[in-house]
Chain A
Amino acid sequence: MDTIWSLGARYCVRQDAHAFMWLWGLFLALAGAALIVRGRGRRFGAGVLLFFAACTGVLGFVILYACYASAPYSMGLGAPSVSAVSLTTLMCLSQDAFSKATGWTIVVLSCSAALGLIAWGRSRGRTALPRACSYVGAALLLLVAVAAGFGAVFVFSWCSSSRLF
């Protein structure tokens, strides 16, 4: 059985290699951006970027763990100690990892751009019109982020329900 689990981890890395590389690149880009922003004295922005970087890492590990924990069972190996609901959740979490990575990237980029726009609009010397435009742009970007997040939750729920029934 140990061989199966060890092979399962490698199988998951191969299956979702593009998603993991994408998330690794996003993690590094966010951490690097946080360092640059912190160097310019903007601690809040750096903190937000670091938070996004940490969430990116967590997402990668969750996808890998979910695939690792369900791979042998999804290929027909009996799972007497795992409940059907847990197995369904694990399979839905690991399924279509690249779409999840893309959705998360949209959320992160939209939120970061919205924060940047708000910071730009709040800086000194802005007249009312550019400030209003930056706030409206930030609101639209946040809307995009919310829509992407809702889409991800909806797809996960749909997957869970269609597997259960």
Chain B
Amino acid sequence: MSDILKYFKPKELKKSLIISLWFMILTFPIMVIKVNTIENTVLWRWGSLIGMGIGSFIAATLWRYLLERKNMQNPLSSKKSLQIRIIEWANANPKIKPAALIAVSLFVLAFPFLAGMYQTSIMTTALMYIVLGLGLNIVVGLGGLLNLGYAAFYAVGAYTYALLNYHFGLSFWVCLPIGAGLATIMGILLAIPVLRLRGDYLAIVTLGFGEVIRIVLENWNGLSFGPSGIANIPRPGFFGMDMKLQTATIYIYFIMIAMVVFTIFVVRRLENSRMGRAWIAMREDEIASESMGIDITKSKITTFALGAFFAGMVGVIFAAKTTFINPASFTLWESLMILCVVVIGGTGSIVGVIVGAFILILLPEYLRAFSQYRMLLFGALLVIMMVFRPGGIVSNIRKKYKFEPIQASTNVSQKGAE
């Protein structure tokens, strides 16, 4: 911390002062002048100019200090990151893993009974974003295909349940596989035409696809009841039992927990499967992997389909949880939010996605204390997090095979056979 003092030398102070002056000029028209077009008066808010000056002076000093500290870090330095130290510590103490697992499960099981209904509801939302994030992670993190229309699959799931229930009275448990299945089909339908596209062209087509689905839902009144949405969607039932709101909230929470466990299990198994390794190879280099015998067409379609599957599943739960859906829940912002979960947490890493979902969903909730400023702070935090930790909070550490020279012969042959 001693080197922060450097920034109080006159030369550095002058630099910060210039930056703050620049910000005062920059924000002048929008922060200071406020025009009242009805009464034709101009309000000059000089106070905010002074506030801006002082604020940006402090921020500039801090920003430059932190940025320099980040750049000073030598990437080749032997200092291990916190994450690696935790992993090594856990590996060194084999008892820690089951203990941690038990602690987490106890906490998860007790949570809805300890916390209130409101907290449980928020936690359920966070759990939904974990599944959505893990699903998108298959497409973006493992497959390396940027999908900006992910909310469309989510919408397909939600509308499947809402409409099937409205017209045919089908129950939640019947609709759950149907919603997930329909979303999967949509994923395949989207994947087929975009097979040839690369990088950002793919991103924009998926974005367009997402928007098309939303606009169709908004305007096709005969199908989706338009912008007014569908209300009174029943919550999931439990063998025909009628539940009070509180019990139902807790019940959905546990459904979500089961879903998260299921998703983590599936994604973990997939990641290290033949298919998962093909995705990773495709992400690293399409042509090289193709020449190694990986079927790119199949890989692309399976990433899209599996990603969509989880979104459709969460969509059904979303409809059941909120009991009301309309197209406004499935905008581009929703897709971007899910993408943020993946990238902030750490692309490609399961733990990362979980951390990302908690940060992105719980943070705005607890920022409610700042009510109107929360989206402003949230935007700023996204920028700050990316600037200071561009790889996400938890980086994905690739599996490495370690050879131990002493028992080399047995080990190698075993590893080879796996």
User: A and B bound?
Assistant: no
Residues of A near any B CB (own CB < 8 A)? none
Residues of B near any A CB (own CB < 8 A)? none
